Structure 1
Amino acid sequence: MRLEGKLAVITAAASGMGRAGVELFLEQGARVCAVDVNAAGLDALRRDLDPSGERLSTVEADLGSPDGARGSIHDAAGKLGGIDVLWAHAGIPGPGGIEHLDVGEYQKAFALNVRSATLAAGEVIGHMRKRGKGSIIFTASVSGMVGSMWSPVYSSCKFAVVGLTKSLAQTFAPDNVRVNVVCPGLADTPMKVGFTGRGVSAEAAAAAEAKMMTMIPLGRLVKPMEVAHAALWLASDDASFVTGIELPVDGGFTCK
């Protein structure tokens, strides 16, 4: 039980990698507060993983708003009685190109991908100081390690998250709080269509996915649970001397 007795918060927890993280963290002994804007998804999470509500609590919040990003951490800490681990996973693909860019859509992408993570970290650090240690995990992307020709807005947001990680790892080290970031490749989640199928036909989306496959040495998409296992390692004491790293979970995409 690698998280026995730990109090963990996971954002964007109602589906995909976040939901896999809730399942895995519970399995490994943590008490978990799942945060998402999707109330129905949170209801399903409780029903499927912890009907009694003994070890899983939820907070419905719009992390794209400053009040939601901060308030969700405050509410989660109240439900758990503290926070040892934060996996700030929320994000969206955002607009595809920058010609004729919709500034509102750009701001929405930045707010959810970057600002929500920044505000959550700023809110959670006080709770972790009270516990004497902690682990903050962000989610970026391989597009935050190497530029993406298809998603410049998303890529720039995820580079910002990687930079935030490296800065906060130094800032929070005196508090015995580690800060790391997982960088998944293209994953088989509901968000996939936001990358491969944005504004194109089903045939074009399939062709884009096939092209991506040729760039992944292991030859397939990453599974949500594989990313959750990476986050579990960073959350656990197995990674007690690991801070400031960007951990690709990408089948070798970034090794070339």
Structure 2
Amino acid sequence: MTIASHPGGETRPSTRLKDKRAIITAAASGMGRAGVELFLAEGATVCAVDINEDALDALKAELGAGDRLVTLQADLSTAEGVRGSINEAAERLGGVDILWAHAGIPGPGGIEGLDVGEYQLAFALNVQSAALGAGEVISHMRRNNGGAGGGAIVFTSSVSGMVGSMWSPVYSSCKFAVVGLTKSLAQTFAPDGVRVNVICPGLAETPMKSGFTGRGVSAEAAKAAEDKYVSNVPLGRLVRPEEVAQAVLWLASDDAGFVTGIELPVDGGFTCK
């Protein structure tokens, strides 16, 4: 049995995802990258999908996982990019047991004078990519276990998909849609032995943070917005990418084998107030 170092420095047997084949989208930075690292440490073979090819190359070089990590550049704002990446990933992995559909962007702030193109891009990345990805991966998951099926799909929503967001009604509406998609597909895919769940992280220490707090404002105003958010978090800080990855790991693993259709906040208590 191998022992791996996990994000946070702890070591323990790497078995929770042993022999599992996982696709993670938006995998080159932030929460997605933390997921790649953790899934590898837990024994999975991973296909990391991202639009940023340079970042994928750096990920591959830095993690040194050999054949257990494959990378795939794709534009997930298009139907062709989503479907093509899922099918290519499945071919390169030899099948799929886990999909973490994590792609998304903050999108435009406000609603007055909303640019339709920006709205459509936000919907395409936050909602369409998740729906099309699930619709494409299910045919591969049905082949698992000698045709009996089985697998786990995890979507990424947000606390903004649970309580709304004054910063970004477009983002919030997209993330509410992802929660609805989760609860629907959990029923649709249950006969195939495929579980579908969604995580709802709070504001995180990732490159995307400024897309929420710093959109069109000064550094001081961005810091004030972040401080205001943190003041409403009972645990008193932002969530870390590796903490989100741990939640996804649980939902994707057999430890959550009877869990489907749930929205799991990873928010330090923000949504319990």
Task: Mark the runs of 5 or more structure 1 residues left unpaired by the alignment.
Answer: none
- Who is 2:224 aligned against? 207
Tell me the alpha carbon deviations over residues 94-152 of structure 1, each in whole angstroms, 9 at most, x when there is no partner.
00011000100000000000000000000000000001200000000000011111110
Letter in 1 for 2:129: S
Whole-angstrom distance in 2 between the partners of 1:223 and 1:138: 18
Q: How much identity, in percent, do the aligned residues show?
A: 76
1:7 to 2:24 alignment: no
- Who is 2:7 aligned against? none
Tell me the alpha carbon deviations over residues 137-187 of structure 1, each in whole angstroms, 9 at most, x when there is no partner.
000000001111111000000000000000000000000000000000000
Whole-angstrom distance in 2 between the partners of 1:141 and 1:30: 25
Instruction: Name which of structure 1's ranges 18-27 and 53-62 shifts more when overlaid on structure 2.
Output: 53-62
| Counterpart pick for 1:96 among 101, 109, 113 | 109
Letter in 2 for 1:88: A
- Who is 2:12 aligned against? none
Whole-angstrom distance in 2 between the partners of 1:155 and 1:2: 33
- Who is 2:3 aligned against? none
1:105 to 2:122 alignment: no
Task: Mark the runs of 5 or more structure 2 residues left unpaired by the alignment.
Answer: 1-14
TM-score when scaled to structure 1?
0.99
| Counterpart pick for 1:232 among 249, 253, 257 | 249
Whole-angstrom distance in 1 between the partners of 2:218 and 2:187: 45
Tell me the alpha carbon deviations over residues 71-110 of structure 1, each in whole angstroms, 9 at most, x when there is no partner.
1100100110000000000000000011000100000000
| Counterpart pick for 1:54 among 67, 75, 80 | 67
SS of residue paired to 2:24: strand
- Who is 2:263 aligned against? 246
Whole-angstrom distance in 2 between the partners of 1:35 and 1:213: 31
- Who is 2:44 aligned against? 30
SS of residue paired to 2:54: helix
- Who is 2:128 aligned against? 115
Whole-angstrom distance in 2 between the partners of 1:32 and 1:155: 29
Tell me the alpha carbon deviations over residues 186-232 of structure 1, each in whole angstroms, 9 at most, x when there is no partner.
00000000000000000100000010011100000000000000000
Whole-angstrom distance in 1 between the partners of 2:34 and 2:58: 13
Whole-angstrom distance in 2 between the partners of 1:95 and 1:235: 31
- Who is 1:80 aligned against? 93
Residue 50 (structure 1) shift: 2.4
Whole-angstrom distance in 2 between the partners of 1:41 and 1:34: 11
Letter in 2 for 1:57: V
Letter in 2 for 1:138: F
Whole-angstrom distance in 2 between the partners of 1:134 and 1:237: 9
Whole-angstrom distance in 1 between the partners of 2:227 and 2:110: 21
Q: How many residues are paired up?
A: 255
Whole-angstrom distance in 2 between the partners of 1:59 and 1:79: 10
Residue 49 (structure 1) shift: 1.0
Structure 2 matches for 1:176-187, cutoff 5 A? 176-187=193-204
SS of residue paired to 1:179: strand
Aligned alpha-carbon RMSD (Å): 0.6
Letter in 2 for 1:3: L
Whole-angstrom distance in 1 between the partners of 2:167 and 2:42: 37
Letter in 1 for 2:44: A
1:219 to 2:236 alignment: yes
| Counterpart pick for 1:139 among 156, 175, 188 | 156
SS of residue paired to 2:197: strand
Whole-angstrom distance in 2 between the partners of 1:99 and 1:50: 47
Q: Which runs of 4+ in 1 moved over 6 A?
A: none
